[in-house]
Amino acid sequence: MKKCVLILTLTLCSATLSVAQSLQLDNALQFSQNIYEGTARFQAMGGAFAALGGDFTSLSINPAGVAVYRSSEIAITPVLALPATSAGYMRNTLDDSKTRFGLGSIGYVSALPTYNIEGLMSVNLGIGFNTLQNNTQRFSAGARTRASDNLSYLRHLALGLTGISTADFNTLATDEEWMANSTSLIAAIEGRDGYYIAATEDFHSTYPDSLELISQMGDVDQLLYHDQSGHVGEYVFNMGINLSDRFYFGLSLGLQDIVHDLYEQYQEQAVNPADFDAPKAGNPGFQEFTRTFTSETRGIGYNVKFGAIARPTAGLRIGAYIHTPTWATLHEHWTADMTSYLKIGKHYANIDPSDYYYRMQTPFRWGAGLAYTFGSIGLLSMDYEGVDYSGFKLREDNGSIGSFAKDAEYVKQYYRSVTSNIRVGGELRISRIALRAGYAYYQHPGKEMKAQQICSIGIGYSGAFFFIDGAWSFSPDNTQWRTLYNGNPNLVSTNTFFSKIAITTGWRF
For 296-318, b where at least 16 C-beta lie within 10 A, e where not — what string?
Answer: bbebebebebbbbbbbeeeeebe
Phi and psi dihedrals of 400, rounded to 5? -85, 155
pLDDT above 70 for 398: yes
| pLDDT number for residue 504 | 98
The pLDDT value recorded for residue 280 is 57
Q: How far apart are the C-alpha atoms of 164 and 167, rounded to whole Å?
A: 8
Mean pLDDT lowest among 327-331, 335-339, 406-410: 406-410
Name, in order, each residue with C-beta under 8 angstroms of 213's C-beta and a sequence gap of 6 or more.
203, 204, 205
Q: Residue 14 pLDDT > 50, yes or no?
A: no
Residue 255 has pLDDT above 60, yes or no: yes
Split at pLDDT 50, 70, 90, the class of 406 is confident
- Are residues 53 and 248 in contact, defined by beta-carbon separation less than 8 angstroms? yes
When mean pLDDT is compared across 181-190, 414-423, 478-487, the lowest value belongs to 478-487
Judged against a pLDDT cut of 60, whether residue 16 lies above it is answered with no
The reported pLDDT for the residue numbered 11 is 40
Compute the distance between CA of residue 195 and CA of residue 180 in angstroms, rounded to an integer.
Answer: 15
Q: Is the pLDDT of residue 284 over 90?
A: no
| CA separation for the pair 151, 352 (Å, rounded) | 29
Can you give the pTM of this predicted structure?
0.89
Looking at 123-132, 159-168, 463-472, which range is the least confident one?
Answer: 159-168
pLDDT reading at 316 higher than 50:
yes
Amino acid symbol at 194:
G
Average model confidence (pLDDT) for the chain?
91
Length of the chain measured in residues: 509
Q: Is the pLDDT of residue 474 over 60?
A: yes
User: Residue 262's pLDDT is what?
Assistant: 95
Helices then strands (H, E): number in the chain? 7, 24
- The reported pLDDT for the residue numbered 37 is 93
With beta carbons less than 8 A apart as the criterion, state whether 123 and 72 touch: no
For the cut 80, the answer to whether the pLDDT of residue 239 exceeds it is yes
* Residue 231: φ, ψ to 5°: -160, 165
Q: Which amino acid is at 54?
A: G
pLDDT in tens, 30-39: 899 999 999 9
15-24, 48-57, 370-379, 470-479: the lowest-pLDDT one: 15-24
Contacts of 254 (CB under 8 A, 6+ apart): 60, 234, 235, 236, 237, 302, 303, 304, 305, 326
What pLDDT is stored for residue 4 in this prediction? 41
Greatest mean pLDDT among 167-171, 238-242, 487-491 lies in 238-242
Q: What is the rounded CA–CA span in Å between residue 378 and residue 371?
A: 11
- The pLDDT assigned to 372 comes to 98
CATH of domain 2-146+218-508: 2.40.160.60
Residue 15 has pLDDT above 50, yes or no: no
Q: Distance from first CA to last CA of the chain, Å, rounded?
A: 54
Per-residue pLDDT, 9: 39
C-alpha span between 441 and 450 (Å, rounded): 10
